[in-house]
């Protein structure tokens, strides 16, 4: 049985370890997964592409106000800059889709189809997807479990969840998609959530 388990691990490694490589591009560390080029760290910017500042929402009241008004906002988890140094910034959906542009030139916020392409590469297997996305995983994305922020401003699931934005809306236009990486159940999948939520951003090359 031990020999069989070791053989299985070797096969999985051979199938997926050659599917990415890390390199520096346009001052960003990136990873290549199939024909997709992703940033290997969460986005960490405070301005839109035209130079306009993105408002920081430190308090629950400020975050909820932005969510209710449908205006852009960013924050650090729990408001601590030290968390930002490791995990990057959290943004609401209004920031990632603002016409002034959040993603750097030549990059974009992933659409649902971009995430689905990555998911399908791993046979839509939620447990396998989790294992290859997290820090040290075979994709090189090195997703850190930085938690999330709810529309009313509460933070939750630090070091248990990671949530990465998708620019696409659901068919009824009421919710947005995001990729959830869940340590508690060791799975990862696309989910639907409120546009006023705070999630992290991984850009994909255009």
**Number of folded domains that form the chain:** 1
- The alpha carbon of 141 is separated from its chain's Cα centroid by a whole number of angstroms, namely 10
Q: Which of 167, 169, 191 is nearest to 179 (CA)?
A: 191
Quick one: pLDDT at residue 28? 86
Please report, rounded to a whole number, the percentage of residues in the chain having pLDDT higher than 70: 87
The predicted pLDDT at position 164 comes to: 98
> What pLDDT digit, counting tens, does each position of 47-92 carry?
999 999 999 999 999 999 999 999 999 999 999 999 999 999 999 9
Burial bucket for residue 42 (CB in 10 Å: 0-12, 13-18, 19+):
buried
pLDDT at 194 over 50: yes
Burial of 85 (0-12, 13-18, 19+ CB in 10 A): exposed
For residue 20, the model assigns a pLDDT of 47
Percent of the chain with pLDDT over 90: 85
26 pLDDT tier (thresholds 50, 70, 90): low
Whole-angstrom distance, CA of residue 6 vs CA of residue 98? 48
Q: Which residue has the higher pLDDT, 77 or 2?
A: 77
pLDDT for the residue numbered 27 = 76
Q: Is the pLDDT of residue 25 over 90?
A: no
User: Looking at the predicted structure, is the pLDDT value of residue 4 above 50?
Assistant: no
Distance of CA 197 to the CA centre of its chain: 13
User: CA 181 from chain center: how many Å?
Assistant: 9
Residue 8 has pLDDT above 80, yes or no: no
Q: pLDDT tier at 96 (50, 70, 90 boundaries)?
A: very high
Characterize 133-153 residue by residue with b for buried, 16 or more Cβ atoms within 10 angstroms of its Cβ, and e for exposed.
bbeebbbbbbbbbbbbbbbeb
Q: The pTM is what?
A: 0.88
Give the range of the structural domain holding residue 71, as residue numbers without chain letter: 2-205
Asked if pLDDT for residue 17 goes beyond 50, the answer is: no
pLDDT digits (tens, 9 = 90+) for 148-179: 999 999 999 999 999 999 999 999 999 999 99
């Amino acid at each position: 049985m031990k020999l069989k388990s070791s053989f299985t691990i070797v096969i999985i490694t051979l199938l997926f370890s050659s599917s990415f490589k890390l390199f520096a591009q346009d001052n960003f560390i990136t990873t290549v997964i199939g024909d997709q080029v992703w940033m290997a760290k969460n986005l960490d910017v405070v301005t839109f592409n035209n130079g306009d500042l993105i408002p920081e929402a430190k308090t629950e009241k400020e975050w909820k106000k932005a969510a209710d008004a449908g205006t852009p906002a960013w924050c650090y988890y729990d408001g601590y800059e030290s968390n930002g140094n490791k995990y990057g910034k959290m943004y609401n959906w209004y920031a990632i889709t603002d016409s002034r542009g959040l993603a750097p030139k030549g990059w974009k916020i992933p659409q649902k189809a971009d995430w689905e392409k990555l998911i399908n590469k791993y046979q839509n297997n939620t447990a396998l997807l989790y294992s290859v996305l997290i820090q040290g995983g075979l994709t090189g994305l090195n997703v850190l479990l930085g938690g999330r922020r709810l529309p009313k401003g509460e933070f939750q699931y630090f070091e248990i969840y990671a949530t990465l934005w998708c620019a696409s809306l659901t068919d009824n236009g009421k919710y947005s998609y995001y990729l959830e990486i869940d340590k508690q159940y060791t799975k990862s999948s696309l989910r639907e959530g409120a546009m006023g939520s705070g999630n992290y951003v991984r850009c994909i090359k255009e």
